[in-house]
Amino acid sequence: MSKEQAYYVPEGTYWPIIGSIGIATLFVGFANQMHGVSWGGSVMALGFAIVVFMMFGWLGQVVNESTNGIYNDQVDRSFRWGMSWFIFSEVMFFAAFFGALFYARQLSVPWLGGADNNVFTPDLWNAFSASWHQMAFLAPGAELQSGTVMSFPAVPDSGIATATPADVVNPWGLPALNTALLLLSGVTLTFAHHALRAGHRNQIVGWLVATIALGSAFLGFQIMEYGHAYHEGLKLTSGIYGSTFYMLTGFHGFHVTVGVIMLTVILYRVQKGHFSAENHFGFEGVAWYWHFVDVVWLGLFVFVYWL
């Protein structure tokens, strides 16, 4: 035995079962809401409230235990392992959507157009030519029955037209601005990180506020961008381009929102003096998360808008 070491086992808590109830309520409500059940929305909101309550309670308890110095290094390392592999699972989640994007763009859309002379991809429609983010939307006055999927190929004289409005997907406008904003937030966060390691608390606060502001600005512009795209006819329902565009950017936006909230909590904890130059895992975890979200956006910007 090199040195005596006692294991730490935390005391019991009810938060996990509360969280399970909350998350199940949220999903049951959501499913009912989609099926048009009247109480669906309120149950969903209730479930969400329970989840938020659980988050505050559970994390608050952990923060308390941490600041009271109950944890040892081993617990700290367990948290680090937990956070790292959680993020890895997030990477895999986004990978599924990026995979769908690449597959649709490189394989399924060209095949639909008859590329490769593959025996399995015969000509489906004479008038159809495959081009990426070709969108279908209704000409004014035309109506589609609900439940039908908008047809993707251009169908002459049927009221369905395809178009590729250039500025919806033009990377020079808002997307470029948003990329710049988010990258800048990565820079300011790095300054905050540096300040924390050097022990300048006032500077940390400043840089963190800047990061949060940039993140929020990003979200605001993203909403504008959605409004614009939607107005131009790019919708979730407008074929595979709309699907991948909204799902990828939407899930990314959700992660940015979560990131902004987490950064705000970290800002609060910095002001409370929870972190030291040596011991600041909470900050590191959130910072890494933010960098991850940042890189996902860079990937989105390059692959969705450019390449």
Long-range contacts from 206-209, C-beta under 8 angstroms, 24+ separation: 208/263, 208/266, 208/267, 208/270, 209/267
In angstroms, give the least distance from the CB of 123 to other proteins. 5
Q: Which is nearer to other proteins, 30 or 53 (CB)?
A: 30
CA 73 – CA 8 distance, rounded (Å): 10
Q: Which is nearer to other proteins, 218 or 241 (CB)?
A: 241
In angstroms, give the least distance from the CB of 201 to other proteins. 17
Q: Which is nearer to other proteins, 110 or 206 (CB)?
A: 110
Q: Which is nearer to other proteins, 157 or 306 (CB)?
A: 306
**Inter-helix orientation angle 239-272/174-198, to 10°:** 30
Q: Which is nearer to other proteins, 53 or 58 (CB)?
A: 58
In angstroms, give the least distance from the CB of 267 to other proteins. 19
In angstroms, give the least distance from the CB of 202 to other proteins. 20
In angstroms, give the least distance from the CB of 258 to other proteins. 15
